[in-house]
Amino acid sequence: MTVRTRFAPSPTGYLHVGGARTALFSYLFARRHGGVFILRIEDTDLERSSADSVNAILEGMTWLGLEYDEGPFYQTERLGRYNQVIDNLMEQGLAYRCDCSTARLDALREEQMARKDKPRYDGHCRHRDLGPDRTHVVRFRNPDAGEVVVDDLIRGRVVFGNEELDDLIIRRSDGSPTYNLTVVVDDWDMEITHVIRGDDHLNNTPRQINILRALGREPPRYAHVPMILGSDGARLSKRHGAMSVIAYRDQGYLPEALLNYLARLGWSHGDRELFSLDELIELFDIDQVNKAAAGFDTDKLDWLNQHYIQHGDPRHIAHLLSPHLGRLGIDPAPGPDLVDVVVAQQARAKTLVEMAAISAFVYRDCDAYDAKAAKQHLRPAAKEALERLRERFDLLALEDWEPATLEHTVKQVAQELDVKLGKVAQPLRVALVGRAASPGIDVTLWLVGKAATLRRIDKALAFIRDGL
């Protein structure tokens, strides 16, 4: 048997972290078992679905590197197939028309709740044999007795009594099929063997199993992934800062860091924390997912992101960093090689947004000095050191503008003035960067370049002279 999994989001919003984790688990399970991973867009809710949401889902999947083997399939392109199945169920007496009014259903619900019964449809129209001319919905005739047993790959054995399940609507009065029908038909037609999804779908599972069996099909295996909790123990939501996958990208997280973090939300392999995607494929299995809900820890994600920035391939990080510089109005192309900038800053940033901000000095002069740094370092006492440095730098040929030569020049000036290196390097750093922190002064000078260095020293000397 070829393992076939699917990720089936509804395009009613962005791809959030819970959905991304479900997609990741489905992807890893298929890859681990040499199977097929399918993307299906469940877009039959026409009022809430949007093309922008579809694009956000596709963009998020692409950024994360979760490549699907088949799809994307769209339910709105399969409406004829769903109606064919519904009509066949009606012909076999396994579904029926219902014209119960909203008023009747509301009254029924109030009576049941007053008796402390579970609200459910009472089968009023089961034997009325209504024709198609009246406004109606179509309901599935759920079995009256017996049990539905779900051998969940995460939760274990879960039993539902059929008497607790009512005759759910499978076609609305406007002719559109409902979720529980469409998902069953899709899983059947796409030969899905394993359904991995959030545990908020668990109560739908017995209904879907009953429909599949009415169609003469054996259901797939199910695995219901526990929810993700915020720091207060409540289900993760926007108020916890829960964001779309693309928002994490825009905040400077690396896709490999977010994937690693999502994989560890409810799954583990000993005490190990760091996994590449290939290692996750080799090690992951769904029955190792914890039954308990997992808590989202932003500090842990930040730690992982910093690790991947520090230890990642500078070329890869440079590719991801470039758009963040673009958002600052910086085109890195005319400046030094962006890979060299990354190498200089890898140990200094937790996110790519932070790396872009602290690297802006390479490409443009600062508008204003950090007040504390200027007060401490751009003082009259620094004037002679900056003047000597400017003179020496001006004499350097462009081919000599290399870190080793530049470091030697700075040290030489400090020796001539008989002061510690910091008394020379720090005023120079503030002049070049606008603040008292940057990579080593040799690398900082090298990245800024000769022309900008001379210009920025002149600006710093004017600042000191004018007493600003």
- Residues that are catalytic: 238
What is the Cα–Cα distance from 184 to 89, expressed in whole angstroms? Answer: 13
Nearest CA to 35 out of 215, 198, 232, 194 is that of: 194
CB hemisphere CA count around 345 (13 angstroms): 26
Residue with tokens 């997912």: 289
Query: What single-letter amino acid sits at 209?
Result: I
Per residue, the 3-state secondary structure of 392-445, as one string, reads HHHHCCHHHCCHHHHHHHHHHHHHHHCCCHHHHHHHHHHHHHCCCCCCCHHHHH
Q: How far apart are the first and last CA of the chain?
A: 77
Helices (H), ranges, 328-382? 338-345, 352-359, 371-377
Q: For 81-191, where are the E strands, in sequence order?
A: 95-98, 137-140, 147-152, 156-161, 169-171
Query: What single-letter amino acid sits at 105?
Result: L
281 and 32 Cβ atoms separated by less than 8 Å? yes
Q: For 247-320, where are the E strands, in sequence order?
A: 294-295
Sheet strand arrangement including 194-198: 70-74, 36-41, 4-7, 194-198, 221-225
CB atoms within 10 A of CB 383: 15
> SS3 for 295?
strand
Q: Which helix (H) or strand (E) holds 448?
A: helix 441-448
What is the Cα–Cα distance from 128 to 126, expressed in whole angstroms? Answer: 6
